[in-house]
A and B are shown apart, each in its own frame.
Chain A
Amino acid sequence: MNNIRQLSVFLENRPGHLGQVCRALAGAGINIVTMTLADTTEFGIIRLIIREWREAKDILERAGFTVKATDVLAIEVADEPGGLEAVLRTAAGAGLSVEYMYAFARGTGNKAMIVICFDDPAAAAAALRTAGAGVISAEEFYSEKQK
């Protein structure tokens, strides 16, 4: 079961730069599943989840961007109080720390999807799967998205 690959792109805080990333991907017919922008006063890092991440990385690098691929976990949690807390408790119990995370809505129903970057993604995947947390493999993630 593979983890999800996330692409991170370095951006200067200047008008139009985020648009350039989106335009490069749109031009190649690549859809962004979800994304988040981490920004400071001086620069930003856009994090992207894309099914065709290898192709997207090539395209962005050719367009002159610095791109990095990172393993992250996609975890399905119950969309109710304490849903995320249970996952984080398991992670903390296994000595894992969260570098950053973001949530997004998917489809209908009572589940929420969380993307978490752990300091040790492989160990996190193993620990959370053992604990029965809803870790979604890349295959499941993208096939679900296609529905």
Chain B
Amino acid sequence: MKHDLRPECAPDYMEPDALHALQLARLQETVRRCHERVALFRRRMDERGLTPDDVRSLDDLAKLPFTDKNDLRDTYPYGLFAEPMGNVVRIHASSGTTGKPIVVGYTREDLGVWSEVMLRSFVMAGMCGDDVLQNAYGYGLFTGGLGAHGGGERLGATVIPISGGNTERQMMVLKDFGVTAICCTPSYFVHLIEHIKESGTSFSELKLRVGVFGAEPWSDAMRAYIQRESGIRAHDIYGLSEIIGPGVGIECSEQNGMHIFEDHFLMEIVDPDTGAVLPDGAEGELVITTLTKKAFPMIRYRTHDITSIIPGRCACGRTLRRIRRIRSRCDDMMIIRGVNVFPSQIEAALLSVEKALPHYQIILTRKGGLDQMEVSVEVTKEMFSDRVSELEAMRRRLAHAVEHTTGLRIPVVLAEPHTIARSEGKAKRVIDRRHEGEETP
């Protein structure tokens, strides 16, 4: 196995015993600091009759209280910070879908941890200091832009801080600046692929060879599409602002699950309903405890992301455990006629149909108290025919694929292109009209 020579990447290959010892020492320190400095955490520990001394092994983690997104809202903006503001050098915030955003802070040391895990992420995706990185994540309060920026610079890559949007300029930079690596949301890259093709440029004329895509759930079918259409390697990166931003984990060259940087982030899989810890291999909700964060430590944060830990070592030689691709957030799950449906399933079904492109939207409505789903698929140049019969056959193939995957008959309608909002950032896949009053049949 080829070990990366960068010292920062050494923990990727740590033997489990040494890793566990390091994790325990860091966990004890984190719990002690939170107990001392974060009122909410201290109160919850007190309610359970726990003191930091009760954490004697990694198994004792299960005794500690969970932290949820609501706790962040309730303590808005700085209530969970464990450092005085004088030591906080950066603030990020995630756009809350409702109400106030979630605010997170970083000390200088935290930024060092962040750039380290992003550097390790880029190395895992096969990048090196010679790469020219087009960072098309949004810069600003969103953690994507500056997070990837810090890691790219620390790697020694040439970072182009182009930020999101402005597709024409993105294409110009991609061609003219000799870009070899890109990071953005997967849906934005699909958007770029289309525009590049429409402009008559072939990917073989570009130097681009690797993409690091995240900030929204995407499927293996989408990866297959991206790799086929662009010829690059597409890696799924995992992260969330509450933990650090991008760089919590990423896929290696095996592209079989995302290695979590366990020396910084302690992971558990729990039953989303009972909170009971589940063994490796079982599917459940990912819960993360930060081990080195100073300004904004998190104890047992409920990510709402559904996944499982892949048992066994990875062929790449890294000892860090992997999680399966995030199938979806529990929040994204839709229940249609009693069946659980995730947007990623719909995406995979549509992409299994020849000529179909990943431009779709799921529209939820409510009729007679029951949730109804409709899938709207854009008719692109590739699938358009001037024969009605061929278009109808395409629509039937899409509907069959959705039925085959979900077991449900879900109406599929064909839509004009670009009527489905093009994502310059995160794709809006689900349009929820359930609360707009019941539609009359």
CA distance A38 to B388 in the complex (A): 7
- Among A10, A99, A100, contact of B379 (Cβ-Cβ < 8 Å): A10
CA distance A43 to B117 in the complex (A): 49
Instruction: Please judge, given known A-B contacts A43-B391, A66-B379, whether A17 and B416 are in contact too, CB under 8 Å.
Output: yes
Whether the pair A45, B418 counts as a contact (CB closer than 8 A) is no
Whether the pair A43, B414 counts as a contact (CB closer than 8 A) is yes
Whether the pair B388, A10 counts as a contact (CB closer than 8 A) is no
Select from chain A the residue with minimum beta-carbon distance to B380: A66
Q: Which residues of B contact A66 (CB under 8 A)?
A: 379-381, 384, 416-417
Whether the pair B391, A45 counts as a contact (CB closer than 8 A) is yes
- Among B384, B392, B413, contact of A10 (Cβ-Cβ < 8 Å): B384
- Among A42, A43, A65, A99, contact of B387 (Cβ-Cβ < 8 Å): A99
CA distance A45 to B386 in the complex (A): 7
Q: How would residues 78 to 122 of chain A score, 1 for a CB under 8 Å from any chain B CB and 0 otherwise?
A: 000000000000000000000110000000000000000100000
CA distance A49 to B2 in the complex (A): 62
Q: Does B385 contact A (CB under 8 A)?
A: yes
Whether the pair B416, A65 counts as a contact (CB closer than 8 A) is yes
Interface residues of B (CB under 8 A from A): 379-381, 384-388, 391-392, 395, 413-419
Whether the pair B416, A10 counts as a contact (CB closer than 8 A) is yes
CA distance A88 to B381 in the complex (A): 31
Most buried by B among A8, A42, A64: A42
Select from chain A the residue with minimum beta-carbon distance to B416: A12
Q: Which residues of A contact B418 (CB under 8 A)?
A: 64
CA distance A8 to B388 in the complex (A): 11
Q: Does A143 contact B (CB under 8 A)?
A: no
Given contacts A38-B388, A66-B380, 20 further A-B contacts (CB under 8 A): A10-B391, A11-B416, A12-B414, A12-B415, A12-B416, A17-B416, A40-B388, A42-B413, A43-B413, A43-B414, A45-B386, A64-B417, A64-B418, A64-B419, A65-B416, A66-B379, A66-B417, A67-B381, A68-B385, A100-B387
Q: Does A51 contact B (CB under 8 A)?
A: no
Interface residues of A (CB under 8 A from B): 6, 8, 10-12, 17, 38, 40, 42-43, 45, 47, 64-68, 70, 99-100, 117
Select from chain B the residue with minimum beta-carbon distance to A47: B386
Select from chain B the residue with minimum beta-carbon distance to A43: B414
Whether the pair A64, B386 counts as a contact (CB closer than 8 A) is no
CA distance A117 to B386 in the complex (A): 10
Q: Which residues of B contact A117 (CB under 8 A)?
A: 386
Whether the pair B380, A45 counts as a contact (CB closer than 8 A) is no
CA distance A133 to B417 in the complex (A): 40
CA distance A45 to B418 in the complex (A): 17
CA distance A144 to B437 in the complex (A): 57
Most buried by A among B386, B388, B392, B418: B386
Select from chain A the residue with minimum beta-carbon distance to B418: A64
CA distance A42 to B384 in the complex (A): 15
CA distance A66 to B351 in the complex (A): 19
Select from chain B the residue with minimum beta-carbon distance to A119: B387
Q: Can you name 21 A-B pairs with beta carbons within 8 Å?
A: A8-B386, A12-B414, A12-B415, A40-B392, A42-B414, A43-B379, A43-B414, A45-B391, A47-B386, A64-B416, A64-B417, A65-B417, A66-B379, A66-B380, A66-B381, A66-B416, A66-B417, A68-B381, A68-B385, A68-B386, A70-B386
CA distance A67 to B382 in the complex (A): 10
B55 CB to nearest chain A CB (Å): 58
Q: Which residues of B contact A43 (CB under 8 A)?
A: 379, 391, 413-414
